[in-house]
Amino acid sequence: MKYLKPLLIATFFLVAFFVISCERDDICPESTQTTPKLVIQAYDAAVQENRKNIFGLRIQGIDNDNVLEGYNIITEDDLVLPLRTDATTTQYSLRKDTSINNNGTPEDASDDFFNGNEDIITITYTTEQVYVSRACGYKTIFNNVSLTIEPDSDNWILSRQTTSDNQTLENEQAALFNIYH
């Protein structure tokens, strides 16, 4: 009986100790808002209230060797673009009505090229590092975001509009720009 009290206390401590040491604080949960992506919505240039799908859309970053995942010749009116955190400019090639020309060699993919209308957009911004948690570390948020459509002889993106005055990209739920085509 004499030893019961210390034994109980010791047990309590041991349990508490293990509960704490087993807690996983080291994995950044997927639900956490970290570095946001830029959301752009596509609208109809003729009837500006209407959303309009872009057919055969293919998106690739300029200076990036890969197609943006999920945008390899698809039909979409919502563009979700990751921005470079190590630079203050990100450029994307948005190609519509894309088709693959295999250059007469269906077996060889290395000399394939794409047909369709390519427009290049330039997104400029300043970056700010915001602390999230010990597991996620810092995220980047983007301030003073602006989007320009690089003019060419046949732009399919006719205009763009910002959706708010405060062009800060802190979470990716809201679209920051509308494009009209």
- Stretch near another protein under the rule CB under 8 A, chosen from 21-29, 47-55, 109-117, 146-154: 21-29
- Cβ(67)–Cβ(48) below 8 Å: no
Contact call for residue 28 and another protein (CB under 8 A): yes
Residue among 30 and 49 whose Cβ is closer to another protein:
30
- Cβ(75)–Cβ(92) below 8 Å: no
125-164: which residues touch another protein (CB under 8 A)?
Answer: 127, 129-140
Residue among 9 and 47 whose Cβ is closer to another protein:
9
Contact call for residue 6 and another protein (CB under 8 A): yes
Residue among 115 and 143 whose Cβ is closer to another protein:
143
Number of residues that bind another protein (CB under 8 A): 43
Q: Which of residues 49, 86, 154, 165 is near another protein by CB under 8 A?
A: 86
DSSP 63-119: T-SSEEEEEEEEEESEEEE---SSSSEEEEEEEEEEEEE-TT-TT--TT-EEEEEEE
Q: Which residues of 55-82 are buried (b: 16+ CB within 10 A; e: fewer)?
A: ebbbbbbeeeeebbeebebeeebebbbe
Residue 123 C-alpha from the chain's centroid: 13
How far is residue 84's CA from residue 106's CA, in Å, rounded to a whole number?
A: 34
Contact call for residue 69 and another protein (CB under 8 A): yes
Q: Which of residues 41, 52, 77, 84 is near another protein by CB under 8 A?
A: 84
Contact call for residue 65 and another protein (CB under 8 A): no
Helix/strand/coil percent split, the chain, to 5 = 10, 45, 45
Shortest spacing between CB 133 and another protein, in angstroms: 6
Residues within the interface to another protein (CB under 8 A): 2, 5-6, 9-10, 13-14, 16-17, 20-21, 23, 25-26, 28, 30, 34-35, 37, 61, 64, 66, 68-69, 82-86, 90, 127, 129-140
